[in-house]
Chain A
């Protein structure tokens, strides 16, 4: 899996003298499901548009299959896009929408029909050929948009927040379905979302972005368990982020207590930050914990309770399946492998 299908080298882009992408370095492997994740306005769409050819980078290279395509117009790229608001042609029925790309390429009538029907079947819209676009629900329009792009057999499919207009339940369904479709057609998907859960559950690789910078690239598990900095840790999920001192390799001190950990390679006594996921806090009777704290709030969340505990130095957020009365004093400990030490983020 070393080979690179797409490579972005030193991409920068400004709008009205505002730099919105700073020196982006990124490569995308064949057949991978890569997600650009970040808050709104961080530059995800702009990266996608640069790959699709709708926007030109101010500097840097866009390498596709070994060739620099930075100057190639969109219609000459082996890439298709599922647009954020679908951008289906309202004056055509479902069949003609999906057939659009094939008609442009002068594919024969019979072949077009075969491929369009196959594709509609793949996205679960058999029998919808004659429907008008405005007679379809959001989810169905979404599928037409996917079929319209995939029928051209692109090497890469770009999807810009394709699920953001759907309600929660349909969204979950479509996430699974998209993943299934990607496996089936075996092409690269570059997916944009601002929803961390969506990114973690669908992707092979997640690229976390903020303010036009890539913060971290990794598998969902890497990103979740080993966030590189405070931004990633906070964006990816709820966590306790605590300033700490790295006393030496495998030993970190915070909130007045030394903890064994598994991280190394920091300078002695370096100021760092520690991430503790709520589900990794082990709650015990006070005498068995490293830190003691008092329950100040408890909320039932379905499978577990979310507890806020007040300690001497700060509040801690924990998850447990057991109920604890407000006011109860508890001990907190964490096993070494669940303590994640990060370099302190420079203030931006």
Chain B
């Protein structure tokens, strides 16, 4: 045991340097009012008061509703996919899982540019619709574009934990359900789905957290028309320069994430998070 403990120490150092210190800085900035400077700053809750401004409040609600919508869509698309994958034998399953994760290996910017190419006014989608004689649709720089981007981006994070859960299920449980009189639908709702709940919760929470804190996709596919929390934070730090306010918003987001992860740890101690 001792032996292993000493191997952890570099990680502790690393965590201290790159996680703990920045987190303390965020706390300090969030509760002060001196802008960039820390020397002539005093304790203040102004940044939090500022969040109640309806402009920012809209960003919060938009972020959460986008997060919820993205999560639900990922769940309704991802669950059947994960379920479908478990129907193959193990070797094929491995390959299929690899295929679903391929997008994760491609740079996020490239992927997002690809979406711009597809969704823009004279992009692939509209050319295709034109061939069918349906008028062009303008979805680039709308919530729809952002949602499509987010769903496609986070789908693997929904499929993986659900598939993990489902593939752990002993097939004889399903036979037991049939044996006890369950038809296919009942066997699914009462046994398969219940068995996969830890995986579903895992996927739901991870997807939701990533969706509410996303900023590259909403920025590029939303084109500034569709600001989410991540964009708000980015803007405050990079273009507006109001570090105190940016830090306060980051802190709220961090608290939501930590709360969600500790909840997840409680319900599914050996999950993937």
A contact set with B: CB distance below 8 Å: 52-54, 73-75, 79-81, 83-85, 87-92, 100-101, 104-105, 148-149, 152
Complex: how many Å from CA A149 to CA B177? Answer: 11
Are B186 and A104 closer than 8 Å at their CB atoms? yes
Are B176 and A89 closer than 8 Å at their CB atoms? yes
Are A104 and B180 closer than 8 Å at their CB atoms? yes
Of the candidates A53, A87, A104, A148, which one forms a contact with B173 in the assembled complex, judged by CB atoms under 8 Å apart? A87
Are B197 and A74 closer than 8 Å at their CB atoms? no
A-B contact pairs, 19 of them (CB 8 A): A54-B175, A75-B178, A75-B179, A80-B179, A80-B180, A81-B179, A83-B172, A83-B175, A83-B176, A83-B179, A87-B176, A89-B173, A89-B195, A91-B197, A100-B190, A104-B186, A148-B176, A148-B180, A152-B181
For B179, the chain A residues whose CB sits under 8 A away are: 52, 54, 74-75, 79-81, 83, 149
Q: Interface residues of A: mostly helix, strand, loop or mixed?
A: loop
Q: Which of B170, B181, B183, B197 has the most CB of A within 10 A?
A: B181
Would you give the shortest CB distance from B171 to chain A, in whole angstroms? 9
Seed contacts A90-B195, A104-B180, A152-B180; 11 additional CB < 8 Å A-B pairs: A52-B179, A80-B179, A83-B172, A87-B173, A87-B176, A91-B195, A91-B197, A100-B180, A101-B180, A104-B186, A149-B180
Complex: how many Å from CA A75 to CA B176? Answer: 10
Are B183 and A81 closer than 8 Å at their CB atoms? no
Would you give the shortest CB distance from B65 to chain A, in whole angstroms? 31
B 174-212 contacts with A by CB, 8 A? 175-183, 186, 190-191, 194-195, 197
Are B180 and A85 closer than 8 Å at their CB atoms? no
For B170, the chain A residues whose CB sits under 8 A away are: 85, 87
For A79, the chain B residues whose CB sits under 8 A away are: 179
Complex: how many Å from CA A79 to CA B197? Answer: 30
For A53, the chain B residues whose CB sits under 8 A away are: 178
Are B183 and A75 closer than 8 Å at their CB atoms? yes
For B181, the chain A residues whose CB sits under 8 A away are: 75, 101, 104-105, 152
- Contacts A75-B182, A80-B180 given: A85-B172 contact, CB under 8 Å? yes
- Contacts A75-B183, A100-B190, A104-B186 given: A87-B178 contact, CB under 8 Å? no
Complex: how many Å from CA A312 to CA B100? Answer: 74
Would you give the shortest CB distance from B231 to chain A, in whole angstroms? 40
Would you give the shortest CB distance from B151 to chain A, in whole angstroms? 29
For A89, the chain B residues whose CB sits under 8 A away are: 173, 176, 191, 194-195
Complex: how many Å from CA A241 to CA B177? Answer: 47
The 3 residue pairs across chains A and B that have the minimum distance between CB atoms: A101-B180, A87-B172, A87-B176
Are B195 and A81 closer than 8 Å at their CB atoms? no
For A100, the chain B residues whose CB sits under 8 A away are: 177, 180, 182, 190
Closest chain B residue to A91, Cβ basis: B194
Complex: how many Å from CA A120 to CA B151? Answer: 48
- Contacts A87-B170, A91-B197 given: A74-B175 contact, CB under 8 Å? yes
Complex: how many Å from CA A59 to CA B190? Answer: 34
For A74, the chain B residues whose CB sits under 8 A away are: 175, 178-179
Closest chain B residue to A160, Cβ basis: B172
Complex: how many Å from CA A84 to CA B181? Answer: 19
Are B176 and A81 closer than 8 Å at their CB atoms? yes
For A83, the chain B residues whose CB sits under 8 A away are: 172, 175-176, 179
Complex: how many Å from CA A135 to CA B173? Answer: 18
For A149, the chain B residues whose CB sits under 8 A away are: 179-180
Would you give the shortest CB distance from B172 to chain A, in whole angstroms? 4
Closest chain B residue to A104, Cβ basis: B181
For B182, the chain A residues whose CB sits under 8 A away are: 75, 100, 104
For B178, the chain A residues whose CB sits under 8 A away are: 53-54, 73-75
For B191, the chain A residues whose CB sits under 8 A away are: 89
Would you give the shortest CB distance from B188 to chain A, in whole angstroms? 13
Would you give the shortest CB distance from A46 to chain B, in whole angstroms? 14
Complex: how many Å from CA A54 to CA B180? Answer: 13
Complex: how many Å from CA A74 to CA B184? Answer: 11
Are A87 and B175 closer than 8 Å at their CB atoms? yes
For A84, the chain B residues whose CB sits under 8 A away are: 172
For A104, the chain B residues whose CB sits under 8 A away are: 180-182, 186, 190
Would you give the shortest CB distance from B76 to chain A, in whole angstroms? 22
Complex: how many Å from CA A52 to CA B180? Answer: 11
Would you give the shortest CB distance from A133 to chain B, in whole angstroms? 11
Would you give the shortest CB distance from B134 to chain A, in whole angstroms? 45
For A75, the chain B residues whose CB sits under 8 A away are: 178-183
Closest chain B residue to A77, Cβ basis: B179
Would you give the shortest CB distance from A172 to chain B, in whole angstroms? 26
Would you give the shortest CB distance from B236 to chain A, in whole angstroms? 45
Q: Which of A79, A87, A101 has the most CB of B within 10 A?
A: A87
Closest chain A residue to B183, Cβ basis: A75
Complex: how many Å from CA A88 to CA B176? Answer: 8
For A101, the chain B residues whose CB sits under 8 A away are: 180-181
Would you give the shortest CB distance from A62 to chain B, in whole angstroms? 16
Would you give the shortest CB distance from B235 to chain A, in whole angstroms? 45
Chain B positions 160 through 173: 1 when the CB is less than 8 Å from some CB of chain A, otherwise 0: 00000000001011
